[in-house]
Amino acid sequence: MPIPSRAALVEHLVRTRIAGDVATPRDNNLSHYRELANGNRHFWLGLELGDRWSDEQDVLAVMAERCGVSDDPEHRQGQDTIDPELTVDGLDRMAARLRKAAADGERVLVATGHPGGLLDVHRRTADALRSAGCEIVKIPGGLMAPDEGMVFQFADVAVLERGATLWHTHSPVPMTAILDGLEREGRPLPDLVVADHGWAGCAGQRGIDSIGYADSNDPALFLGEAEGTVQVTVPLDDHVADPRYYDPMTDYLLDAAGLLPSVDRA
């Protein structure tokens, strides 16, 4: 398949509901913004936000600017949106950081709290970075995330496992376990983390370059990017009907980063 042009990718994102009219309803988005503003750390995704985002309307304003949700505070029910142009803008920023990682042969840790949707996006990114000369960080063995489960790598992507199942998690605890484990072994921390959810937030809070993906009901990483703690946050629906829908997006990302061989373009 040819690499999609920007216009073709935008059309694909809207058609598959990765962006555009997404499945996450407006009331769910607003409830998460309120929880974050009220200091519920589950919604901080590993970031330390203090009291800087205690006004729900400030959170909404950032989400409208960086994700593309409606900026109307009176719109409280029904459909909400992610702007596909902002999704592609985020992919372009992410591609620039991946290109730098490849050029410098950086140590990169790839992780996901959303294996049902984004595992293959991250796997292909790790494969491409290794082929370009990056070191994909091997996490310490036997890691446990307290009250969460076991942390291990599957296809070069760090994930949480519980009951022989890859687990969906927003928690920063698994990433904390990895970074603390690397320090205990006297190994260097990653130069770059490519992730989502609390995996990305925790890494950014620890001072590591962190880039990742976030849904419209996960505002913390967008706030982290606004404050400079997270380098790039790409807005998208992080669990659509078929994970294969992310393939053209991943093709576009890796091509923009110079990590794909020369191929046809749409």
Give per-residue pLDDT as tens, 254-266: 999 999 976 555 5
Kindly report the average pLDDT of the chain as a whole number. 96
Judge whether residue 222 has pLDDT over 70: yes
- By the 8 A CB rule, do 249 and 91 touch? yes
Mean pLDDT for the stretch of residues 80-95: 98
For 156-185, how does the pLDDT look when each residue is reduced to its tens digit (9 = 90+)?
A: 999 999 988 999 999 999 999 999 999 999
For 247, the token pair is: 């393939």
For 114-130, how does the pLDDT look when each residue is reduced to its tens digit (9 = 90+)?
A: 999 999 999 999 999 99
pLDDT at 163: 87
Q: What percent of the chain has pLDDT over 90?
A: 95
For 19-31, how does the pLDDT look when each residue is reduced to its tens digit (9 = 90+)?
A: 999 999 999 999 9
Residue 110's contacts (CB-CB under 8 Å, 6 or more residues apart) are: 122, 123, 125, 126, 129, 136, 156, 157, 158, 193, 194, 195
- Dist CA 136 CA 156 (whole Å): 7
Residue 129's contacts (CB-CB under 8 Å, 6 or more residues apart) are: 98, 101, 102, 108, 110, 136, 259
pTM here?
0.96
pLDDT at 147: 82
* Pairing mode, strands 192-196 and 107-110: parallel
pLDDT at 261: 77
Give 51's pLDDT tier (boundaries 50, 70, 90): very high
